[in-house]
Amino acid sequence: MAYTLTKGSAGTIERAFWQSLKATQLTDGEVSGTPTASAFDTNLTAVSGAFDHLLIVFTSGSLAGEARPIDTYSSTNGRITLQEDLTAAPSSSDEFIIVPNHVEPTADIVSAIFNEPQSGYTTAGTFGYYLDSQVSAAGGAVDTGAIADAVWDELRSPDHLTVGSFGYYLDAQVSSAGAGGTGLYQVSVLVQDASNNALQGARINVDGTTLTLVTDSSVIVTFNLDSGVYLLTCSPPAGYDTPSSISAIVTTAGLSKEFTLTPTSSASCDVPWIG
């Protein structure tokens, strides 16, 4: 059974739901011109900057299921430049979706950390206050570049295993920041139906671990895994059969995987999807 969604009146639940759906709506398009693995023209006509730092996911062609963060978008020929190269250049007419999920560039995060004003951290007990006091207490001419290098080059293990130390605390906070793991390489997973509509509510697990993520309005879930061989399992949303598990061989680069689900024979109405 299918339903027709109307805009509804201001202040009604129907209007609130309509606005929520519009806020998470995906943008779809096609590659055009002579694409490369890092940049390509599209049939999009939005204003420049409209898709900067969002996530693009290919839904057809040899790159189907592969996802990358967008660096910049220009209205001239709908030009998209990626933050990270694809595994290969897409073909003209390959289809994609753009997910309304902001992906902050790593370079911007690093710059923001080291450009943060020292004067903003005067509350005793905060990490900023503690770091400032340690640098100030070092005395003499402080080589801030050497300190920065030492911070980022410091090994997680086996040097920071003492409970109560700042290294142990920071590692624990980063490790618990998400259920996707803390490994070196990203494994992105897309769950879709046979018509390439991305599905919400699917639970993805790395077999043999506690790493579990659920697809939501951001569509793609991403695990951070160290090199090795993993088995990804999918618990589908209501109305879909459980698919076969997928093997992920992580070596020295990120991977993109996808589950394509089929409706159960007992499904009597449309299953919600975002697309």
136-154 pLDDT, tens digit per residue, is 776 655 566 767 777 777 7
Region 93-115 average pLDDT: 77
The size of the chain, in residues, is 275
Q: Does position 52 have pLDDT exceeding 50, yes or no?
A: yes
Between CA 78 and CA 84, with CA 80 as vertex, the angle to 5 degrees is 175
More confident residue, 85 or 148: 85
94 and 110 fall within a common domain: no
Whose structure tokens read 């992906």? 103
Round to the nearest angstrom and report the end-to-end CA distance of the chain: 18
| 267, part of any domain | no
Which comes out higher in pLDDT, residue 197 or 275? 197
The residues, any chain, with a CB within 8 Å of residue 242's CB and separated by 6 or more, are 234, 235, 236
- Of these ranges, 13-27, 178-192, 203-217, the one predicted with the greatest mean pLDDT is 203-217
Query: Greater confidence, 61 or 117?
Result: 61
Task: Give mean pLDDT, residues 97-107.
Answer: 74
Q: Which pLDDT value is given to residue 275?
A: 35
The pLDDT value recorded for residue 91 is 96
Give the β-pairing of 27-32 and 39-42. antiparallel
Is residue 167 domain-shared with residue 199, that is, in the same domain?
A: no
Q: What is the total count of domains within the chain?
A: 3
CA distance 118 to 63: 45
Does some domain include residue 218?
Answer: yes
Indicate whether 273 belongs to any domain.
Answer: no
CATH number for 213: 2.60.40.1120
Whether residue 165 is predicted with pLDDT greater than 70 in this model: the reply is yes
> Which of the listed ranges 115-124, 143-152, 169-178 does the model predict with the highest average pLDDT?
115-124
Quick one: average pLDDT of 219-239?
86
pLDDT higher than threshold 80 for residue 97: yes
Same domain membership, residue 199 and residue 130 = no
| 205 shares its domain with 190 | yes
115 pLDDT higher than 90: no
Q: Are residues 150 and 197 in the same domain?
A: no
| Model confidence at 268: pLDDT above 50 | no
Two tokens at 236?
């589908």
Mean pLDDT (the chain) is 79
| Residue at 275 is within a domain | no
Tell whether 160 and 212 lie within a shared domain. Answer: no
Identify whether residues 17 and 62 lie together within a single domain: yes
Question: What pLDDT is attached to residue 77?
Answer: 95
Within-domain flag for 199: yes
Which of 49-53, 204-208, 254-258 comes out lowest in average pLDDT?
254-258
How many whole angstroms separate alpha carbon 191 and alpha carbon 57?
A: 12
pTM above 0.85, yes or no: no
Using alpha carbons only, what angle is made at residue 94 by residues 2 and 83, rounded to the nearest 5 degrees? Answer: 105
Reported for 43-50, long-range contacts at CB under 8 A and 24+ positions apart, including other chains, are 43/78, 44/73, 44/78, 44/80, 45/75, 45/78, 46/73, 46/75, 46/78, 47/75, 48/73, 48/74, 48/75, 48/76, 49/73
212/166 same-domain check = no
Residue 6 lies in a domain: no
Q: Which of 67-81, 133-147, 213-227 has the lowest mean pLDDT?
A: 133-147
Instruction: Indicate if 34 and 17 belong to the same structural domain.
Output: yes
pLDDT > 60? residue 244: yes
Q: Is residue 5 part of a domain?
A: no
- Give me the domain span that covers residue 252: 185-261
Same domain for 72 and 30: yes
Residues 47 and 64 in one domain: yes
Confidence at 157, pLDDT banded by 50, 70, 90: low
Show which of 71, 99, 127 is a domain's final residue: 99
Ranked by mean pLDDT, the top range of 36-40, 182-186, 200-204, 215-219 is 36-40
In a domain, 271, yes or no: no
Residue 1 confidence class, pLDDT cut points 50, 70, 90: very low
Residue 30 maps to which CATH number?
A: 2.40.30
Domain's final residue, options 118, 153, 175:
175
Please check whether residues 224 and 254 belong to one and the same domain. yes
What is the model's pLDDT at position 239? 87
Q: Which of 99, 133, 156 is the last residue of a domain?
A: 99
